[in-house]
Structures are given as structure tokens and as C-alpha cells.
Amino acid sequence: MCLLCGALLPAQPKQKNDDRQYWTNLAYRIATPVLENMSRGELSKNMQLELSPAWDGRDRRVSYMEAFGRLMDGIAPWLALPDDDSAEGRQRRQLREWALKSYAHAVDPDSPDYLLWRSEGQPLVDAAFLASSFLRAPEQLWVPLDTLVKRRYVEEFQQLRRIDPPYNNWLLFSATVETFLMTAGAQYDAYRIHSAIRKTEEWYVGDGWYSDGEHFAFDYYNSYVVQPMYVQVLEELVKRRKIVRPATEETARKRMQRFGVILERFISPEGSFPVFGRSMTYRLGVFQPLAMLAWKGILPDELPEAQVRAAMTAAMRRMFSVDGNFNEKGFLQLGFAGHQPALADSYTNNGSLYLTSEVFLPLGLPADHRFWTAPAQDWTARKAWSGADFPKDKAMRD
């Protein structure tokens, strides 16, 4: 019971820790319709497209690229774990097998599931998520591809330079693609990488937040794109000694840690979180920075791993306990919690929604990692609203 208001809070987490099983089953449920179909070259045939009621008229075939790229970016760390004969291991092995076949279809001009690489500007966005998936699991998702498939990816990534990205988070899409080309030993455009870094630095507004371009908007694009892609690009550059300012990487990581603290405090005692800004149909993609910090083992000291796991699990259970998130074939539907088509922006289709998969990054930690095994802890809002002690918040100063 809340000591201040007398209201009943949700029951304490169960003693049996089944969080990882819940996460893996949900990830498998979300991924299966996309990867099973695409592995056979049948995604474009069988995926039930749902476009925003305010659809802006772009080529609807971009939906398949969005679904595949965003899904793979979120589950790549999980698929990078070694095989085993557990139920989860069988799920993981099946998804990886489907994914490798799907990667080949994506760049095969003779496949029905050849993606929309060479039309319009949107492909730059989801090519970046595909490139990011290779960066997150290179040995498991890039190395096994045959020489022809790899050559096709390099060619498709390089031809995206035809797109002049707008001065906002799109600069990081170009930077992510070029960073992957660098890691693959292909010709890459260093200017596209470093110009994105310079502009992102200019757009830092303080206390862990970046502006998405010149004007600040209160939305979750720090989660969807800016923070994760910026840190990832910097990490790859520093790893390969391509940048002489490693302090930039450290600063960006500290900002993401601060942003992670804010995200964790957004999760209410009941597992809900604030709905504001555009692209709320991306659902749990809101928590990508927090998930990335957990996966990489760089959560700030004030966020114990078991506390973050409990908070994110509460949000996941709260959202996916609502009917209507999936259609009859198992694909995600437009909405936030359930089926809410009117919430979709003009550029949104149900392929866009697979950005919710970014919440699954901690599945890249093995099942015996303390993130999964430590007893659940109440998260900040739950402590605050139950009368328990909790740490005071304070702004970050660079």
C-alpha cells in the first residue's frame, strides 16, 4: 500500500525469477513472423501491411525493410550468444538460421524480398539499423554470409550516398552505415562520420539530452536514434584508433548514463511510462539507451542491474498484457498499448513498429549473468510511491 495515498501498489515481484524466459518468449513471438517468412523470401507476400491513416504516400514497400532492419538491430546481441540445447537456445538458433537466410534475400535482386534499397530516402534509415545489427554481432551475423552477399551489402550501403540526409538524427544514419563499411574493410566516407559527430556535439543541450537538429523537441528520439547510434559510432572509431579524441566517447557515454537514469525514473510503480512526442508507436524502443547500458555493463552506479531489469520487465508486461498489439498472423499492429491506428504518424507503417525490439538488447547477456539472476529490486518510482528511501535526483554537468 502507498503510505501517502492509501492506494494499493502492484504486488511485489514473484520470488521465482522468470524474467528472462518472459523476455525471450516475447522476443521470439515478435521476431518469428518476420524472420520465418523472410527466410523463405515470402515476407512481402505474407506480411499484412498496415499504413498510418495519414500515410504520406511514400512507397509502401519500405515497410519490409523497416520491419527486418529494426528487428535485427534489437535482437542481434541475443543471437550472438553461443548455441546450447536449452529451450531458449533452440529459439535463438532458429532465429539466427532464419536471419542469415533473410539477410541474403534482402540484397538479392532476384528475390521477392529484395528490399527497397534504391528508391526514395527512407532506405537510409533502415539500412542504418541493418548496419548496426552487423556492428552488434559481427561474428554471428556478418562473417557467416557468403562473399556475394557481403559484396551486395557493401554496394547497397555505398549507393545510399545518393541521399542527402536532413540536418537532424538522419546524419547518424549515414554515419552508422559508413562506420560499418569501415569495420568491414570497404571504402567508406569519413566525412559523413565526422560531420555527424560534430553536429551531434553541437546539438547537446544539457543534462543528458540532445536536440534533434537545430530546434529541441520533447520526444524520445534521444532513445530511438541519437544516443545509441552516437555512442556506437564513437566506440567503433576509438576501437580502431580512427579518432584522436577518446574523451568524446567517454563524455557521450556519461550523457547516455544520465539519460538512462531519467528513463528509469519514467517507469511508474505500475510499469507505465509517459506518452509524449512523435513515434510513440515504437513502443518499448523508448528504453533503448537503458537497455544498451545494461547490455554493455555500463549502467551508472545509482542503477543496480536487478532494479533496471525489474523496471523494464514491469513496462514490458504492462504493455504486452493489453490485447491488440498483434494481428491474426502475429505481426505488430499500429498502436502503443494495443491497436490504436490514429496514433500513427504520417510516415508510420507496422514495419516501423519493430523498433520496439531495441528493448531486448540485454538478452545479449548470458542467462547466468547477474543482470538476470540477482533478486529483483524495486525501481525508483516504486520506492518513491511506497514511502521507501530513494536517491535524490540531480542534474548532470559536463
Q: What CATH number does residue 240 fall under?
A: 1.50.10.20
Look at 9-23, 141-155, 319-333 and tell me which has the smallest mean pLDDT: 9-23
394 belongs to a structural domain: no
170 belongs to a structural domain: yes
Across 191-213, average pLDDT: 96
Question: Which residue bears the cell 525501481?
Answer: 379
Would you say residue 263 has pLDDT above 80? yes
Residue among 373, 363, 369, 368 at smallest CA distance from 136: 363
1 belongs to a structural domain: no
Would you say residue 133 has pLDDT above 50? yes
6 belongs to a structural domain: no
Across 67-91, average pLDDT: 97
What is residue 154's predicted lDDT score, i.e. its pLDDT? 98
Would you say residue 63 has pLDDT above 90? yes
368 belongs to a structural domain: yes
User: On the CB side of 121, how many CA atoms lie within 13 Å of its CA?
Assistant: 10
| Domain enclosing residue 255, as ranges | 19-385
223 belongs to a structural domain: yes
With H, G, I as helix, E, B as strand and everything else as coil, classify residue 164. Answer: coil
Long-range contacts of 209-212 (CB under 8 A, 24+ apart): 209/259, 210/255, 212/168, 212/169
The reported pTM is: 0.94
What is residue 3's predicted lDDT score, i.e. its pLDDT? 41
C-alpha 39/C-alpha 84 separation (Å) is: 22
pLDDT bracket for residue 8 (50, 70, 90): very low
Across 221-225, average pLDDT: 98
12 belongs to a structural domain: no
Q: How many domains is the chain built from?
A: 1
**Average pLDDT for the chain:** 94
What is residue 81's predicted lDDT score, i.e. its pLDDT? 98
C-alpha 376/C-alpha 396 separation (Å) is: 27
Residue among 291, 302, 286, 300 at smallest CA distance from 380: 302
117 belongs to a structural domain: yes
